[in-house]
Every structure is written in C-alpha cells, then in structure tokens.
Chains A and B, each alone.
Chain A
C-alpha cells in the first residue's frame, strides 16, 4: 500500500466549466479537510469553499469523500469539484501540496487503482497507454515550461551548485591531495550566494505571467494597421483609443482578458516606425521593450496595403519571441477569413471591424498559448517551483550546518539533496557527472 498522498487534476485539461481535483492516499481526508473544511459523509456531495492555509478563498464547489477501499484507487479519496481554469486549479493544488500532498506522477492514480485491485486486469494495456501518454505530455509540458529565461537561471543555478559540490566532495574524498581547499567562510558565502540565486529564480518563476496572469501578448504593427481595433475585437470593449490618425497610441496600453479560462494580458503598442516626435520615439522604445518580454507577438498588417512588404517589420521584432501574423481589414481587401499558415508562427486573415476570422484567431491563440494542454503546463511549472522550494530548504539546512560548525559531510549531504531537487527540473546530476567534474577540475591521483 502506498504511503504517500497524491493529488492531481482529474478533469481533461482546457475546456469545461468544472474542474475536478482528486486526492488519494492515507492522508487524503486530513488534507482535504484542511482545504475544504469538514468532509461530508462518505459518498455524498456537499458545497464547500476551498481555502489555502492563509485563509484565502480559492474557489468553491462540491466536495466528496470516498473512504478506501471502496474508492477509485482503493485508498481514501477526496474530490474537490470547482469552477476550474488552469490558474485556479494550480492554486488549489498548491494549497493541497502545502498541506502535505505530493503531485501525482502521470498515470499514478490509475496505477494505484490497478495495483490495489480496483481495476480489471484486462485494462492493464489501457493503463500502460495512459501512463505512457501522460508521461509524454508531461515531458512536453516540462520542456515548454523550461523555455526561455527561466531555463537559463535554473541552469546557472545547477552549475553554481555543482561547482560548490565539486570543491566540497573532492575535499572529502581526496583530503590527501594538495587541493586548494575551501575555507569555511568561503563555503558559507557560496551557499548563501546560491540561496540568493534560488530566491531570485523563484521570484522570476512566480512572477512568470504564465502562472499568475496567463500569457502576455503584444500587439504590434505599422501605424494604422488596426492594432487597437484588433485589441477591442479581442477584448470585446473599447479598451484603447481607436482613431484613424497614425501614432495615436503613444504609450503601451495594458489590457487583461480571458480566453476560455486562460488569462491573457494584451499590450497594445505604439506603431513601429521611425519618428522625430520625442514622445512618439519614447512610445516606440517602450513597444520594443514590451515585445522582448512577450510570450507572443501579434503582428498586425493592413491587408489592403499590399504594396508594403512586412519583411522590414519582421526584422525589427525581437528574436526568439513567436509571432502570429494577422492580416487585418479583409473587409476592404476582400480576402477570405481564416488560417493561412500553421502554428507555431501562424498567419491569419481577419477583419477586426466586422469580426470575420476573429474566432479563428482566438482559436489559434488558444492553441499556441497551450490552453489545450494548459493544465499540463501549469503542473509542469508547479513541479519546478516545488523543486526550487525543496532545494531552497536544503540550502538553508546547509547554511545552518556551516554556521553551527557541523561537519562538512553534513553540509555536503544537504547540498546533495538540493542538487537532487534541482535535478527534477534539469535532469539528474549523477555521481559520475560529479566525479568527472572533480577529475577535470583538480589534478588528483597519486
């Protein structure tokens, strides 16, 4: 029988008005009650408000309790049925994890059900498929979560930690060698430095708009291409000042909207073009800055201005940020609405004015934003944050051991734990890797 209590989102990701989170294991009842309040009688649904340890209201909905062995997994199971949406689900999971639950591995619920004899043996193949597909999706989500600046900072972190461990472990295993030792002061300082680095990474990851506020999309394009109209069409209200005079939008306008539960932050920028106007130049500079940090750029092109190539515009966009090209004003040009080029850098024909093609644009945004796999992606990020938290705790322990003069072997132990945790994000650093580093850094051997 499993000893750990696991939690996961049980509803298919993306759509639907209901999101179900399931808890299974020996502490399911206690953890469930901590978040949902008193559990209802077995197998009866009750309305509950879901709160985290700080008392913050996260969601509300039905709570069900299935004591084992008469449950899906054969263990004690608690189900929380809320309104769903990736952000809410993520915060609920976070609350459960804070109470002691662990994030389930792909297919782990089914695996437990199967191993506890709650599932027909003939379904073994189906379970296998589920585990395989689940782990592949998780791997893809983890990869996506690891793109960009977050990945760089985590890799820097792992490199710093490895370097420190190389020093410490070699001073333990090769104390007879005349190595340049690491004074305890240096050790403490480096532990502290890495601890700071983790804190910064955590902050960066937490601020990641994808987690808290969803995706950031920047609307860019030549003056008068219809950027602000497009924003209004997406937002469904007059969020930006729309005029027909080039250069009206001088600042970056910030709009928040929801696309099937995925929060979207849309920044409408000043038009991209050379300008002698000081204020306008400032607007262009801000537009460039906003684009560099965006998750996606919507490059709006006036489909009617066919004589203008948009190659020069493309060249001005920051490298590495995916682009969706939107050919606007097809009500004037007469082009058919819809998708002209596939993801990941799609091209669509729309009319912000008539709304033609806007559904296709929303659909494309949803797809490119990964809303269909939204939860997988959020969970991947959640795993990474958990690993960072654990690594931070292990480093605190190492710092404390160094401060109180406990042996180097105890400091080394905590650093090993920290590295194992970070290994969950970047792949494990094995003993062989570490020894390889030691032997290439130091001349060892009699």
Chain B
C-alpha cells in the first residue's frame, strides 16, 4: 500500500462481507484496497464455526455462482458436511458444514491472494472523506487520508459495540477486538437512521474436558456434499462428527436462580435480539414447560482444543455459566475457555439504502453485512458481493446488479432490508421467499452464472463448461418433450412394471417424468425411451423441473404480471407531496422509504393497490414533461 495512491474501491472490514466485496471488485478489474483492523483475522468466523443451512446454504450457492469466495473456502475448510431436509423436496434441501476456523481463515486468505488488483492494509477507519455530498475516501486511525471513487463499509458489530457478561459490561467489537467508536460517532452525525441490536454467543469449552462417551454422535453425510460448483470433490480435509447433548431440569433451575443477574432481565440491554436465536435464559423463561433444550457440540477445528456448544448462548455471570455448563450430560467436568457474552451494537437502517446497497444520503458509500441489521456469515457475504459489484458498476457506468425476488435469495434479502427494514437481526429463511420453488441450491448456477459472466466474474474456461452443461440440459429436455411413447411401444411385461401403471394413451417422456412416482433411471430402461444422459446434474435438473412444472408455471405467470411494476422506476428525488390523491400516511411512508421501483413501493407495509395506481398515473402525467 502506498499512501499517495488512490484506489477505485476501498472496502472497510475484513469479515465475510468485506472479503466478498473486495474480491468481487478486484476481479472486475478495479484497484481495490481492503482495510482491516487486523489482517490476521480476515475471514474470521466470529460466532459459531459453521456455514450454510436452510436458506443460508442457498445464499452460499448463489455467492458461488457469482464467482464469490465463501463456497470454495468452506469446501477447503469444512470438517462435517450434511444436506438438511434431505427427505423433503429439492427446493428446501440445503447444505451445511462445520468449519475448521483456522483452515477457513487460511482458505479465504489464499483465495484473496489470487487476485492481482487487491491490496490488504491494516489500519482502523476514523472518518469518511466527503466531498460535495459524495463519499470520496476514508481517514484512517493513523491519520492517512485514502481516496477512492467508492467506499464499501462492512464493519459488522464494531460500531458502538458493548459486551455484556452478567453485571459487567464494556465497549468492544467481538471479544478481543476494539470497537470502531470514532467511526460510529461520525456516522451518528450523518443523516442516517441508527438502531441498536443484540446478539450473543455461548461459552467455549475445552474439548479435552468433555466426556463424549455419554453423548450421541452425529456424523456427516456420505457421499460427501460440497458447496462450490467448481470444487472437484477432493478439497475436503479430514471429516469428524458433531455430538449432541441436552440441558436438563437442574440446568434450568440454575438459570432461573440467576436471572436477576442477567443484563437481559435487569434492563441493562436495550438492543433487540433475534427471536430465532434466543439465549438459553430466554428459552428457559419463555418455554417454561420444556425440560430440555438441544445442544450441538461443534468442534472449532481439527486441531483446535475448543468446542462451541451451540444452543446455550448466554450473558449470565461467569460463575453461573460454569455451573450451568457443568449440569449438562457429558460436560460435568467441562472447562470453559472463553465466557459467553451478549453484544449490543449499532446498525444503520437499511431503508436508507438503494437496492444496490448504496446509501441514499451519501452517494459513493455502500454498506454491507451486519451493519445493515443482518446476522450470519452467509447474509453478510452475499451483501458484500452485491455491494462490491455495484461499487465497480457505479464507477464504470455499468448497469447495477439488483436481482429480483424471483431470481435469487440475494434479491429477497436486499429487497426485504431496503423495503421493510428490520427490527431484529435479519436471518434468511426459505419461507421469506415467495418464489421458493425457483430459488434452489441446485439451480443457483443456472440462475446467476450468466449475470456473473456479464460482470467479468467468470473465467472463459468455466463459462465454456457451464454452457456445455446448459446445452446438455436443453438437448435432453427437447428430446424428452419430442419422444412419444405409445402403449404398444411398451413390452408385454417390462414396460408397465417400469411405468408403475399402464399407459392408456400416447404420452411424451416429459409428461411421464412428471408422474410423482417416476424416476429418470427407470424411465430410461424402456427401450423406446432410453438411453438418456449420464451426467447426474443434468438428470437432476430435468427431474426437478418436470416435477415442479405446474407450480413453476404459476409462479412465472405471477412474475410476469408484476414485471411492469418492477420495471417502472421511481426517481429518488420524487416529491410524493405532488402525487394527487395519496393519503398523508402513504405519502409519509413513500417519502420515508423512497422506493426504487413501483414494485418495491407496492411491497411497503401499508401500501394499497389504489396508491400504486395513483403513482402510475402521476408518472404517466410527468412523462411528457421529462421528455421535453
């Protein structure tokens, strides 16, 4: 790094959002600086050592299809892989992996080091350089003024962080790191809405002090799943099992006895915690009838001595933590290596962002990750990727990337955040996606790789490979649609047995594949139908789409109906006071949210169809004036 050089993009923060943002920007050819408080903690997993899961795994696959880091890194660092919802349908199947923290950090670092335009630099950020209402760079803790055409802020919980353990609390980012208080104060001066959230972690336990003989082991899946479409299958390190234990009546008694010393219940904590990730004291209070709660003992790594007991996040005093841990089966002699804690932090209201994640108030500033009110590595990484791409798009005058809700979970994520905001740490769930059947892990590449290619994020060889894959799907699909089976084509005995039920009239293979009980392999055994294709990925795509056909068609129709609204953009500076007929309540909401499109406006809570019509009429009226 040379202090006099100017960059095209500066990314502040080396977490999951920051690394994806920097990587994408650099791969698009932008001179990119990644500014982090500690180069050694780039790619650090600050909470539980796992990536993926339902909804989250979907995001990882999307990041991968966009040429991102996360999927490849976890394939090199995952020590237990599972496919969740294996028994349910393909749309909700999701990959999850336990990670070796050290290997993960190393993998991220190795991947970042592959890119020539990316420079890493260790320093804090004190301030933003703002010139004529546009962000033009940052001022570092050591007083350097660094210029850039766009700044991506991914500072996680470092803004105004406050850590609570029992009655004690202190300023802090995640345990061990300094919070960015100066930057937080600076941001609070800007016309950005700032809110406060809370999250927590469990105490960590020395692996050697756990009695595994008493616990159920949960091994990974076979064959070994992987995240990245570019993985060859030999990246995985050694695999290990997780273990499961439970809290019990005694644990709950200990917790109840110490509630008055919990910052949550003493009113010390003002931030809102996530409902889906309550602390153990919350679970005991709110679900008093339950006498046991499940705990996953997640190894922190192959060589690491620590275990992450997922399920007992707590901010109770340390002595209570020791007692409650030791009341649990297998943990009777457990040694705590780090206490659990709750952390409160600032987030910036994501409704102040455009769907590109650029600030509506400060052009040139993009925000990604936990600072936008989300939780989770995957949610952060996905935003980082999108912000990185859009930072470069802005500089180069390219079309920005704002995936729609039917195109990607990333679209759902950003649309939810920028349209509705959030009052608790936002986590992805598949139930948030109304087009869930289209947004699958298995077709993330088909949905997004062409977009990534447009932005120069896919190498030629990879693209050629992808095109061959798509052609193979199309070819076989056409063949299935055009190959007709007549009842007399079936052999006397084998045909009906293979079909499961008689063929009454001529049908094409695609229609037969749609039968719920039909399997591709079985269908291909019919002489007139086979031999079919060998590539299991191609087969999978055809089978899924055959099975979902009617549902996907209905969703497509719905998308088409909304397309006009989604494509009608609303000017950022639109004066909603001028729109005739709007109620003052709707007017206020629109001025507040400043939706980017009519579609987004329609999704703002409290909007009515009539208000959307009024906006349409207003836009139409203004059209000739704009053209003149």
Q: Choose among A4, A172, A407, A443 the residue that contacts B430 (Cβ–Cβ < 8 A).
A: A172
Instruction: Give complex CA distance A417, B275 in Å.
Output: 26
Instruction: Report A-chain residues with C-beta under 8 Å of the C-beta of B293.
Output: 443
Which residue of chain A has the shortest Cβ distance to B279 in the bound complex? A445
Instruction: Give complex CA distance A408, B92 in Å.
Output: 9
Instruction: Report B-chain residues with C-beta under 8 Å of the C-beta of A3.
Output: 560-561
Contact between B294 and A405 (Cβ–Cβ < 8 Å)? no
Contact between B620 and A124 (Cβ–Cβ < 8 Å)? yes
Q: Choose among A132, A172, A178, A432 the residue that contacts B92 (Cβ–Cβ < 8 A).
A: A172
Q: Choose among A114, A115, A176, A413 the residue that contacts B436 (Cβ–Cβ < 8 A).
A: A413
Which residue of chain A has the shortest Cβ distance to B54 in the bound complex? A173
Beyond A125-B580, A131-B617, A443-B286, whether A107 also contacts B610 by CB under 8 A is: yes
Which residue of chain B has the shortest Cβ distance to A176 in the bound complex? B84
* A134 on the B face (CB < 8 A): yes
* A237 on the B face (CB < 8 A): no
Instruction: Give complex CA distance A390, B287 in Å.
Output: 37
Contact between B613 and A131 (Cβ–Cβ < 8 Å)? yes
> Within A168-218, which residues are at the interface with B (CB < 8 Å)?
169, 172-178
Instruction: Report A-chain residues with C-beta under 8 Å of the C-beta of B431.
Output: 169, 172-173, 431, 434-435
Instruction: Give complex CA distance A128, B274 in Å.
Output: 42
* A444 on the B face (CB < 8 A): yes
Which residue of chain B has the shortest Cβ distance to A106 in the bound complex? B610
Instruction: Give complex CA distance A124, B625 in Å.
Output: 14
Nearest CB on A from B609, distance (A): 5
Q: Choose among A175, A434, A443 the residue that contacts B54 (Cβ–Cβ < 8 A).
A: A175
Contact between B89 and A409 (Cβ–Cβ < 8 Å)? yes
How many residues of chain A are within 8 Å of chain B by beta carbon? Answer: 48
Nearest CB on A from B429, distance (A): 5
Instruction: Report A-chain residues with C-beta under 8 Å of the C-beta of B294.
Output: 177-178, 446
Nearest CB on A from B307, distance (A): 14
Beyond A413-B437, A443-B293, whether A124 also contacts B92 by CB under 8 A is: no
> Within B249-287, which residues are at the interface with A (CB < 8 Å)?
274-278, 283, 286-287
Contact between A124 and B618 (Cβ–Cβ < 8 Å)? yes
Which residue of chain B has the shortest Cβ distance to A407 in the bound complex? B89
Beyond A105-B609, A127-B617, A408-B88, whether A445 also contacts B286 by CB under 8 A is: no
Which residue of chain A has the shortest Cβ distance to B294 in the bound complex? A178
Instruction: Give complex CA distance A436, B429 in Å.
Output: 13
Contact between B274 and A445 (Cβ–Cβ < 8 Å)? yes
* A289 on the B face (CB < 8 A): no
Instruction: Report A-chain residues with C-beta under 8 Å of the C-beta of B48.
Output: 446
* B230 on the A face (CB < 8 A): no
Instruction: Give complex CA distance A432, B419 in Å.
Output: 13
Instruction: Report B-chain residues with C-beta under 8 Å of the C-beta of A446.
Output: 48, 277, 294-296, 310-311
Nearest CB on A from B327, distance (A): 18
Which residue of chain A has the shortest Cβ distance to B431 in the bound complex? A169
Contact between B290 and A107 (Cβ–Cβ < 8 Å)? no
Nearest CB on B from A179, distance (A): 10
Instruction: Give complex CA distance A338, B259 in Å.
Output: 70
Beyond A107-B613, A121-B624, A406-B547, whether A439 also contacts B276 by CB under 8 A is: yes
Instruction: Report B-chain residues with C-beta under 8 Å of the C-beta of A131.
Output: 581, 610, 613-614, 617
Contact between B54 and A445 (Cβ–Cβ < 8 Å)? no
Instruction: Give complex CA distance A444, B430 in Å.
Output: 15
Contact between B278 and A111 (Cβ–Cβ < 8 Å)? no
Which residue of chain A has the shortest Cβ distance to B516 in the bound complex? A404
Contact between A173 and B560 (Cβ–Cβ < 8 Å)? no
Contact between B88 and A409 (Cβ–Cβ < 8 Å)? yes
> Within B220-256, which residues are at the interface with A (CB < 8 Å)?
none
Beyond A115-B616, A173-B54, A407-B88, whether A129 also contacts B580 by CB under 8 A is: yes
* A333 on the B face (CB < 8 A): no
Contact between B616 and A409 (Cβ–Cβ < 8 Å)? no
Nearest CB on A from B575, distance (A): 15
Contact between A410 and B278 (Cβ–Cβ < 8 Å)? no
Residue among B55, B92, B617, B624 facing the most chain A CB atoms (10 A cut-off): B617
Contact between A409 and B91 (Cβ–Cβ < 8 Å)? yes
Q: Choose among A404, A405, A445 the residue that contacts B276 (Cβ–Cβ < 8 A).
A: A445
Q: Choose among B85, B517, B620 the residue that contacts A114 (Cβ–Cβ < 8 A).
A: B620
Nearest CB on B from A398, distance (A): 11
Nearest CB on A from B86, distance (A): 9
* B608 on the A face (CB < 8 A): yes
Which residue of chain A has the shortest Cβ distance to B275 in the bound complex? A439
Q: Choose among A108, A135, A175 the residue that contacts B85 (Cβ–Cβ < 8 A).
A: A175
Instruction: Report B-chain residues with C-beta under 8 Å of the C-beta of A121.
Output: 620-621, 624
Residue among B276, B434, B554 facing the most chain A CB atoms (10 A cut-off): B276
Instruction: Give complex CA distance A405, B48 in Å.
Output: 36
Instruction: Give complex CA distance A42, B151 in Å.
Output: 62
Contact between B275 and A135 (Cβ–Cβ < 8 Å)? no
Q: Choose among B287, B581, B620 the residue that contacts A129 (Cβ–Cβ < 8 A).
A: B581
Instruction: Report B-chain residues with C-beta under 8 Å of the C-beta of A434.
Output: 431
Contact between B621 and A124 (Cβ–Cβ < 8 Å)? yes
Instruction: Give complex CA distance A336, B311 in Å.
Output: 79
* A430 on the B face (CB < 8 A): yes
Instruction: Report A-chain residues with C-beta under 8 Å of the C-beta of B536.
Output: none
* B482 on the A face (CB < 8 A): no
**Beyond known contacts A172-B431, A175-B84, A407-B91: 7 more, CB 8 A cutoff:** A128-B581, A129-B581, A407-B88, A417-B554, A431-B432, A445-B278, A446-B277
Name 9 interchain pairs, CB-CB below 8 A, sorted by A: A105-B609, A115-B616, A127-B617, A134-B610, A173-B429, A406-B547, A407-B88, A409-B89, A439-B275
Q: What 10 A-B pairs are tightest by C-beta distance, nearest first? A: A407-B89, A135-B610, A128-B581, A128-B580, A439-B275, A132-B581, A124-B621, A443-B287, A446-B310, A409-B89
User: Using a CB–CB distance below 8 Å, which chain A residues touch chain B?
Assistant: 3-4, 105-108, 111, 114-115, 121, 124-125, 127-129, 131-132, 134-135, 169, 172-178, 404-410, 413, 416-417, 430-432, 434-436, 439, 443-446
User: Using a CB–CB distance below 8 Å, which chain B residues touch chain A?
Assistant: 48, 53-55, 84-85, 88-92, 274-278, 283, 286-287, 290, 293-296, 310-311, 420, 429-432, 434, 436-437, 516-517, 547-548, 551, 554, 560-561, 579-581, 605, 608-610, 613-614, 616-618, 620-621, 624
